[in-house]
Amino acid sequence: MPETAAGGGGVPIELRAVTKRFPGAAAPAVNELDLTIAAGEIVVLLGPSGCGKTTTMRMINRLDEPTSGDILIGGRSARDIDPDRLRRNIGYVIQQAGLFPHLTVAANIAQVPRLLKWDSGRIARRVEELLTLVGLDPATFAQRYPRALSGGQQQRVGVARALAADPPVMLMDEPFGALDPITRERLQDELLRLQEELAKTIVFVTHDVDEALKIGDRIAIMERGARIVQYARPAEILTAPAGEYVEQYLGGGSSMRLLRLTKVGDIRLDSVPHATAGADARALLAQAEDEGRDFALVVDEAGRPRRWVSAADLAAARGPVGELGEETGPPIGHRMTLQDALEALLNADSDVVPVVGRGQAYAGVLSLSTVQNAIQAIKARERERRRRRLSGLTGDSGDGGSGDGGPGDSGSGPGGGA
């Protein structure tokens, strides 16, 4: 998790006792809201419709003016900045992209640079760069009109438009809400990929729990009046929901969601004895016996997993390992989610599947019990962390949220299969 990765891209945002009262409304839409958003993080505002999450977001770029309170962007009060100028430095993406239908894709993206009075050569270069960045071929798409684009393509253009002037902050108001599930999933992945490069401070509004868990570095779960019920990292929200409201909102299935949230590379993997085909079979056998395994892994020169070889085969062999054993089948990538890895495990011929890291090189192995242990370890860790923080803050860990609070159940034994 890039919690501390401030990058070069983002600036922090701080909401201080922000209240928004719309004329004629009985209750304020946003009531005395305090929220700190770290630079370079994606913070998701999650809540039912009408809870004030969109209003909260719109106050950051002053599309709605706070009735009281203050919003600091990169340390400066938004109040002190001319709203039009402020907004040119804050990317804004809305549902169904909000592209101008009478302008070409290129002209849509060029709007903000134009407002900033860039010269036309620079704008043209930037447009091309951005289209490539969001995965659209400039030659094909630059001169098209939005109506000739699919919903997903339009939303890509919407993101490109928001990024045009390289703003430190992006506001995204249910940007993927109107897309079909497959396109939505793909765009979420691409947003995360982009964010890894750009490290913007992103405020992302949604009512979709899974989207929030997937996208957010932190999630602020809101109820009416934009009251924040819990503001925490996704794993903590899943493992230690703060009270009934959050639990209800999550709607169960927290372990499955943890699987989706966790990358293979983030958990502790098992290891098996491994060597290249040129290595001595006896030596590999001895290593396997040492580690209590009755099989070993043969890797190629680049360290890529190739073949499983059993202890019996090794014992019968003389000299180098050579072409003993059988193919491993497709490995699991270290960037896969645990859910995808689990799927691969269930479909594999063997109980154990090799995991590869950079350059497809061997990084460890995964089995069903590895996954199980990892989930339990995460839960235990999150519970521990929350318990420690609460006791540190209040001296009492009896917060309503921890219905399953005892940290004793899965103890301290992660990676027990090793």
Q: Rounded CA gap, 132 and 341, in Å?
A: 30
Q: Which residue of 84, 290, 301, 396 would you call a contact of another protein, by CB under 8 A?
A: 84
Inter-CA distances, 277 with 312, 315, 353, 354, 400, Å: 17, 15, 19, 17, 58
Q: Is position 219 an interface residue for another protein (rule: CB under 8 A)? A: no
CA atoms within 13 Å, Cβ hemisphere of 49: 2
In degrees to the nearest 10, what's the CA dihedral of 211, 214, 216, 218?
A: 110
Q: Which residue of 92, 204, 245, 362 would you call a contact of another protein, by CB under 8 A?
A: 92
CB of 95 to another protein, least distance (A): 8
User: What SS3 state is found at 224?
Assistant: helix
CA atoms within 13 Å, Cβ hemisphere of 281: 18
Binding segment for another protein (CB under 8 A), chosen from 87-95, 197-205, 249-257, 316-324, is 87-95
The answer to whether residues 231 and 222 touch, using CB atoms and an 8 Å cutoff, is no
Binding segment for another protein (CB under 8 A), chosen from 67-75, 78-86, 192-200, 322-330, is 78-86
Q: Which residue of 19, 21, 72, 144 would you call a contact of another protein, by CB under 8 A?
A: 144
Nearest 5°: CA angle at 289, between 284 and 295? 65
Q: Which residue of 17, 27, 148, 393 would you call a contact of another protein, by CB under 8 A?
A: 148
CB of 36 to another protein, least distance (A): 23
Q: Is position 103 an interface residue for another protein (rule: CB under 8 A)? A: yes
Q: In what order do the strands lie in the sheet with 68-73?
A: 30-37, 13-20, 68-73, 76-77
Q: Is position 161 an interface residue for another protein (rule: CB under 8 A)? A: yes
Rounded to 10 deg, the angle between the 368-394 and 254-261 helix axes is: 100
Which residue, 66 or 146, has its beta carbon nearer to another protein? 146
CB of 198 to another protein, least distance (A): 18
Binding segment for another protein (CB under 8 A), chosen from 38-46, 90-98, 174-182, 359-367, is 90-98
Which residue, 53 or 161, has its beta carbon nearer to another protein? 161
Q: Is position 146 an interface residue for another protein (rule: CB under 8 A)? A: yes
40: which 2 tokens?
Answer: 């370079």
Q: What are residue 37's phi and psi, to 5 degrees?
A: -115, 120
Q: Rounded CA gap, 121 and 113, in Å?
A: 11
Q: Rounded CA gap, 29 and 274, in Å?
A: 61
Binding segment for another protein (CB under 8 A), chosen from 144-152, 240-248, 254-262, 304-312, is 144-152
Binding segment for another protein (CB under 8 A), chosen from 84-92, 181-189, 199-207, 288-296, is 84-92
CB of 329 to another protein, least distance (A): 47
Q: Is position 379 an interface residue for another protein (rule: CB under 8 A)? A: no
CB of 181 to another protein, least distance (A): 23
Q: Is position 98 an interface residue for another protein (rule: CB under 8 A)? A: yes
Inter-CA distances, 317 with 3, 273, 324, 331, 372, Å: 50, 17, 8, 26, 36
CB of 387 to another protein, least distance (A): 42
How far is residue 117 CA from its own chain's centroid? 35
CB of 384 to another protein, least distance (A): 42
Of residues 232, 234, 201, the one with CA closest to residue 7: 201
Q: Which residue of 13, 59, 94, 222 would you call a contact of another protein, by CB under 8 A?
A: 94
The residues of the shown chain that bind another protein, judged by CB under 8 A, are: 61, 63, 84-89, 92, 94-96, 98-104, 107, 111-112, 115, 143-148, 161-162, 171
